[in-house]
Structure 1
Amino acid sequence: MKKTCFPVSLSFTVIILFLMCSCANTKKIKYFQDMSEANTATPLALASYTEPIIQPDDILAINVNTTDPAATVSINSRNGVYVNSSNPNSGSANPLAGYLVSKEGDVEVPVLGKIKLAGLTTVQARAAVREKAVKSFNDPVVDVRFTNFKVTVLGEVNHPAAYILPNEQVTLLDAIGYAGDMTIYGRRSNVLLIRKQPDGRSFSVKLDMTKKETLNSPYFYLKQNDVVYVEPLKTKVLNNDNNLIKYITLAATVVSAIILAKRYW
């Protein structure tokens, strides 16, 4: 009797079709799908940037350069120094260095004394510190920055971590870029942003990275301590199922058995 490999080939066909169904659609991994693909400059409506507000428990680098070397060293000695690094998990050389904003919203600066900074932007804080400094020094040069401007990126990204950034003007795209971009299993249409408000309450909002309207969202620019979570596609959940291979094998076996039964029954 002539043998046939039809049951085997059909079994492989079932397996291939099953795997194809579990593959991620390339359309699901493309950003801003409704943006024009024409090779011309396209005007974009970007969200307006709002400077972050200093809050209690923030840590600030306060630098004051004066004509008095001893005073300058005393004031600036608590500040960390930012470095550029190729390591995606590093943000600053000493992220905890600086002046802690108290629960009352003050910082205690050597020589200058207590200064109220909570509720101010860093630009306004520089003016407040300089107002104190000019009482003791001529033409002081003042700089105030966040040293704990932290954004946490979790979920389906290549390098999930908490990132401490020297730059206050951070976008959602920047954060995803620091985390090494989303994986192919990241659900770009449903990115969750969790933000803590100054009153201590938190809220969440979902952003669709496949739509260009996200570029104009009031949440496109991030605030300190924001958390970005990239949800996985159902495809990954399916592919990570420990029983997947068993299901495929069982399906192929059943199909082969049915065909053999029909042939020889």
Structure 2
Amino acid sequence: MKRYKTACTLFLLIIGTVFLSSCGSSKQVVYFQDLRPGESEVKLPEVQAITVQPEDKISIIVNSRDPQLTNLFNLPYVTQQLGSTSELGTSNNSRGVSGYTVDSNGEIDFPVLGKIYVAGKKREEIAAYIKNELVRENLVKDPVVTVEFMNLCVSVLGEVNAPGRFSIDRDRLTVLDALSMAGDLTIYGNRNKVMVLRQEDGVQRVYGIDLTSGEHVYTSPAYYLQQNDVVYVEPNNVKARQSTVNGNNVRSTSFWISLASLLTSVAILIFN
């Protein structure tokens, strides 16, 4: 009887160890564990607004009191169907506007004004420059210039609920914004290791972000995203265990429970 109790105690200790280790991993699910409401202050990194780069596509719309005059500076939206070309209406309310693709030199060819260097500039900077040039050249007296992004995107991959490629529709996009657009991390996402892949100066750089630490998130150089960034969420150990055929490997809880049960049964047979 004593030997039976010893074997049962051994079995319970093994089971308890396995479940305690599983409970410990739940601490890795909570975001910003080092922040306390009303107590924590984290200095944000310098704001990195989205700037236009070669191969980006932007739309530029010029408006004023004289629609016929400003139509000279707005590209018409042209559709092609089965070899035929048609142009939409020319009024400001009914016409579309196609975009300008930034060339390898960082320039666009703007009507009347000619080549304009836009690489490295923000939307408002481009709009202000074109407005000033139109007024300075006495082309439009009261222009209102609007610049919008057209093909700027970031990609979110890995353990998120809705991975995909998402358009940038604002001047500042954070890694938290991107993860929100992707439906947040799944329960299998590794909060300690979110990677941001970015091409800078011809080099592929990889930044790591620990979502469990608010200070690490907000001070990361990759907190503000740039166009073409790739955010990758690595799977945690639970997901790794499930990646086998039946999840029954040496890293799985079920494996250790089965092993403990087997050892207990063997011990009982031996002691009896």
TM range (shorter): 0.7 to 0.9
Report whether the alignment pairs 1:159 with 2:162: yes
The structure that has the greater radius of gyration is: 2
Does the CA contact (< 8 Å) of 1:97 and 1:147 recur in 2? no
CA separation of 1:114/1:97 partners in 2, compared to 1, >3 Å: closer, same or farther? same
CA separation of 1:15/1:27 partners in 2, compared to 1, >3 Å: closer, same or farther? closer
1:238 CA drift (Å): 0.8
TM-score by length of 1: 0.75
Partner of 2:48: 50
Partner of 1:90: none
Segment drifting more, 144-153 vs 170-179: 144-153
Report whether the alignment pairs 1:219 with 2:242: no
Partner of 1:145: 148
- Measure the CA separation in 2 of the matches of 1:261 and 1:97: 81
Which of 205, 208, 233 is the equivalent residue of 2:207?
205
Deviation track 1:9-40 (CA, whole Å, cap 9, x = no partner) reads x9999789767755772210111111125xx3
TM-score by length of 2: 0.74
Deviation track 1:207-245 (CA, whole Å, cap 9, x = no partner) reads 111112221333211111111111111221012321434
Partner of 2:82: none
In the alignment, residue 36 of structure 2 is paired with which amino acid?
S
Partner of 2:134: 133
CA separation of 1:76/1:13 partners in 2, compared to 1, >3 Å: closer, same or farther? farther
Partner of 2:190: 187
- Measure the CA separation in 2 of the matches of 1:29 and 1:77: 50
CA separation of 1:177/1:24 partners in 2, compared to 1, >3 Å: closer, same or farther? farther
Report whether the alignment pairs 1:262 with 2:263: no
Deviation track 1:135-163 (CA, whole Å, cap 9, x = no partner) reads 21112111212222311111111111110
Partner-residue secondary structure (3-state), 1:241: coil
Partner of 1:36: 36
Partner of 2:120: 119
Does the CA contact (< 8 Å) of 2:51 and 2:122 recur in 1? yes
- Measure the CA separation in 2 of the matches of 1:250 and 1:27: 26
Does the CA contact (< 8 Å) of 1:24 and 1:185 recur in 2? no
Equivalent residue pairs, number = 240
Aligned ranges for residues 70-85 of structure 1 at < 5 Å?
Answer: 70-73=68-71, 75=74, 77-78=76-77
Segment drifting more, 63-72 vs 230-239: 63-72
Partner-residue secondary structure (3-state), 1:244: coil
1:100 CA drift (Å): 0.6
Q: Which runs of 5+ in 2 are unaligned?
A: 1-6, 79-96
- Measure the CA separation in 1 of the matches of 2:183 and 2:20: 27
- Measure the CA separation in 1 of the matches of 2:45 and 2:61: 31
In the alignment, residue 32 of structure 2 is paired with which amino acid?
F
1:261 CA drift (Å): 3.6
Partner-residue secondary structure (3-state), 2:205: strand
Does the CA contact (< 8 Å) of 2:168 and 2:227 recur in 1? no
CA separation of 1:102/1:151 partners in 2, compared to 1, >3 Å: closer, same or farther? same
1:131 CA drift (Å): 3.1
Aligned ranges for residues 237-252 of structure 1 at < 5 Å?
Answer: 237-245=240-248, 248=255, 251=259
Partner-residue secondary structure (3-state), 2:124: helix
Does the CA contact (< 8 Å) of 2:69 and 2:140 recur in 1? no
Partner of 1:25: 25
Does the CA contact (< 8 Å) of 1:57 and 1:100 recur in 2? yes
Partner-residue secondary structure (3-state), 2:187: coil
Which of 170, 174, 177 is the equivalent residue of 1:174?
177
- Measure the CA separation in 2 of the matches of 1:24 and 1:36: 21
- Percent identity among equivalent residues? 35
Segment drifting more, 159-168 vs 247-256: 247-256
Partner of 2:60: 62
Does the CA contact (< 8 Å) of 1:47 and 1:215 recur in 2? yes
In the alignment, residue 31 of structure 2 is paired with which amino acid?
Y
Partner-residue secondary structure (3-state), 1:33: coil
